[in-house]
Structure formats: structure tokens, C-alpha cells
Amino acid sequence: MVLPHSLPLVPLPSSAIAGEGRMPVSEATRVSGDARLTTHLIEAVAQRSGIRLSASPDQPSPDRSSEIALRLDPSVGGPESYALTIDETVDIAGADEAGLFYGVQTLLQLLREDDDGWGLLRAEISDSPRFGRRGVMLDVTRHFFDVDEVKKFIDSTSALKFNHLHLHLSDDQGWRIQIDSWPKLTELASSTASLGDRGGFYTKDDYREIVAYAAERHMVVIPEIDLPGHTHAIGVAYPELVEEPVMNDGLLSESARLGQPLPVAGEPYLGWGVGHSSVRIHEERTYEFVRDVVRELAEMTPGPYIHIGGDESLGTPQDDFDLFVERATAIVVEEGKIPLAWHEVGAAKDIAEGTIGQYWGKTTPEGTHAAEAAHFVERGGALIMSAADVAYLDMKYDADFPLGLTWAGVIDVRTAYEWEPTSILDVPESAILGIEAPLWSETTRTFGEVEQLVFPRAAAQAEIGWSPREGAGREWVSFRERLGSLAPLWKAGRVDFHPAAEIPWSER
């Protein structure tokens, strides 16, 4: 018998028994079950192999040889669980629709070509996620990516069993979402991006299209409007809402080193320095703005979260910052959503109860970061772990890599894989909802460059979020072999991944 962790699967399943041989796949192979998922499977197999499977729209046929059956079975396990058996036929049973979808993603990784043609590796798998919250973030503000590019990002990350997409929709460099009650945001503050590159924004129809597309792949979209800092672009549209830029030593030295312009009130900001902007915290008009934006986002966001940002407000006095985030989190609750915020917001005593914190400090916490994060738990909330020195997808793979930054560290694939979300902060393990891997887009001027930074390291984060903490195969030596087996799938999907030298990439 083949060892279970030798199956070419990422993330590693909870339980797997690898069989001998393969089930051949041909155009005579039939798929029965959920119509949408059947179509998804047929299209994915055709893209990968050129073979177009047949659809059996109703019940399995009496002659079940070479058949793939998709079905729901709540007895399989908890949310998102599935069971997969590949022998003479294929049976995928999902505890719910998400579980069935993830079973299909596993099946697609087991589709392999050898000298005898295409087939499915025989296996018996029972699988369920470790964490219910497994996210990726795409910054569409420093550089803008259109609807089709976001859809491609959803396709490639949902295939790794990520189930949340955090869209960073506003920052100093631009405003990226239509807000009817404040139309100048997109009229005046969306046309540019970092380094003077093209900007853009999503109409409400665009955003709803992204949300619906993600939902079909069992991803929840989390919109973020970053406040009270990272708000220079708001001032381009509505100068009465923001303070004059406040320079700091880091901004001055970074701008000089990179030859980038400093921020000027009322003009689009083309650099990527941080900490200089703030909304006017003592003006009631500011909170009318926040309420309108949150209300319009909530109306078109079926998911439970609105992210209010809260990071790097370096020019905002602490008392003002606390006042603002307390009011902003309360507004999100009043609009029927759960507030989500970066860990600095935990410094405020009276943030709304139940606010979820997102920790972006390092694996060895610095300064007050750990205490700020812990306060979310004390207020009845929980935490999402995005430790910057292991989970930030915009860091360089090595010092010479042409894309990415290094302020949090250099993150090779092994570093991205070997960390434990529950071991960083002194909070109950139950307070950790899961992980999120952010991609900040300062250096990514094309979507292909986004993919080079995201893949393959997103696969490491996917395994941390989904797979058991320990067990056979849950270690670097196994992971690097299994990760290498994803190359043919990514090539078929035209994912522009970085072929990191430490990974033995497979040809087929």
C-alpha cells in the first residue's frame, strides 16, 4: 500500500489511504449530481487534460463503471467536510455544498497523466478543516485589478480550500468602490495608483458580480475601508473630511530612498509611504461619511463582516484614534455586520463587543501588539492570524527577488509553511478563528506579478489553515514534494507561479 501522505494533495487531508493504480478517465466517464458543480468539474478536467467528461443530469446510471457521483450526506462530518472514494468509480459525499466543492478540488489534484493516459489516483479520503476561517487578502488599492483578474484569484485560491476573500478597497493611493452617497470618491479619487499607474474602481454591479462569483466557490467576501489613517484619497475627493498630511521619519526616509513623492493635500498620492493621513475625528460629518459607506457596503455584502482597517495611524493622537475606532466599530454593528479590524484597534478600551481582530505583528510580538490583539478576546471577539514575517505574501522570497518588500522579513516557502497560528499570542486556542494571507500590491504592477508572489506560498498558508496541526505528512519534507505536484494544475490554469528552487516541481 502507498503511504497516504504520498498522495499529491495540498492541503494535506485529515485522513487518507492511497490505493494501487488508477481509475482511467475518458470522455465516456460520466458525472452525476449537483448541476453547477458537475459543470465546474467537467470544465476543469477539460482545461487540464483536453478530455470532456459526460454529464448525467439525474441519478447514476445502472452501469456505474467509470462514473463520478457527487452527493450531499450530512453524516460525513461537520461543516465543509467531505469523503472521497476512488476505485472503479468515484464517490464524493459532502457534508454540505462547501464540502462537496472541496471534495471536487481534491479530486482534480488526483487527476494525473502517465504513459497510459489520464486517470484518477485511487484513494479513500475523509477530510475536514482545522480552522473555519481560511482567508486571503488582495490589495486592489495600491494597484488596481479588474473583475476578471479578481475572479481568477478566486479560482486559484478557492481550489486550495480558502473560504474568505478580503478586498482592501481604500487607501492613500485610491478609492476603489462606488458609493452613491459620496460620488466624488470614484469621480476624483480612483484614477491613479502607486507609481502613477492606472487606477480604477468597481461599480456596485462589479462588486456584486465578484461577491456572487466568490459565493459559488464558497468564499465569503470581506470589504475593507481603511480608517482613520490610510485616507489620503478621501481627501482628494472630499478635503473637508481629512487632516493635512503629517510627515514622519519613516515616510521621509523611505520616500527619499525610493525617489517617491511626498503626499500633498488634495493631490493623488503616488508613493507608498504610510502614516501621514487621518480623517477629521472631531467632525460629526466624518461619522456621517463612515455610516453612509458602511451602510452601502453592508447592503451589497451578504457576508457577516465589514473591515474598518485601523492600522498605521501614525499621525493620529492615541485618544483621537480610540474615539474614532470605538464609534466606527459601533456603526458597523448598528448596520448589522460584525466589525473586523487590524490589531491596533485593540488599544481602544470600548471597541464594540464582538469585534474581530486581525493580528499582523510578527511571530515574536513587538511592543504593544500582543496586548492590543488580546483585547479583542477580552471584549468577546476573536482573532485572525496574519503574522507578517510568515504570512505576508508581498514579502520577497529572497533578498534578490525582483518583486516584493522586506520590512517584515524575507519569506521563502519553508518559512511560509513552518509556523503555528495558536503559538504566537497568550490567548485561548479557541479564540483563534483561523488565518489570512495578505497580498499588498505596492510592487505588483500586473496581475501576473501578484500571482508570482502569491503562488506557491499561498499553498503553504492553505495547509496551515486546513490540515491537522500534526500527523503523518504534516511536515516540510512531505509538503515540498506534494507542493511540487501542483505545477501541472497551475500551468493548466495559467497561474504565473514562482518556481521556487527548493521545490521539486513535477512535469505531469
**Cα 213 from Cα 207, distance rounded (Å):** 10
Contact 39, 216 (CB under 8 A): no
Query: 341-367 burial, b if ≥16 CB within 10 A, otherwise e?
Result: bbbbbbbbeebbeebbbbbbbebebee
How large is the angle between the packed helices 476-484 and 457-466, nearest 10 degrees? 120
Cβ-count burial of 244 within 10 angstroms (0-12 exposed, 13-18 middle, 19+ buried)?
middle
CB-based contacts of 423, cutoff 8 Å, min separation 6: none
Phi first, then psi, for residue 29 (nearest 5°) are: -70, 130
Contact between 93 and 72 under an 8 Å Cβ cutoff? The reply is yes
Alpha helices in 245-397 (DSSP H): 249-258, 284-299, 318-334, 369-378, 388-391
The answer to whether the beta carbons of residues 275 and 314 sit under 8 Å apart is yes
Rounded-to-integer distance, Cα 1 and Cα 121, Å: 13
3-class secondary-structure state, position 458: helix
Cα separation, 185 vs 174, whole angstroms: 9
Cα-Cα-Cα-Cα dihedral sign, residues 469, 473, 476, 482: negative
Residue 14 amino acid letter:
S
Give the count of alpha carbons within 13 A of 419, CB side only.
Answer: 28
Known active-site residue 449: no
H/E stretch holding 114 reads: strand 111-114
What is the DSSP annotation of 386-419? --HHHH-TTB-SSTT-SSSB-TT----HHHHHS-
The active-site residue, picked from 67, 243, 296, 312, is 312
SS3 content of the chain, % helix, strand, coil (to 5): 35, 20, 45
Preceding amide of 11 cis, omega within 30: yes
What does the CA dihedral 8, 9, 14, 16 come to, rounded to 10 degrees?
Answer: -30
> What is the phi/psi pair of residue 82, to 5°?
-155, 160
The catalytic residues are 312
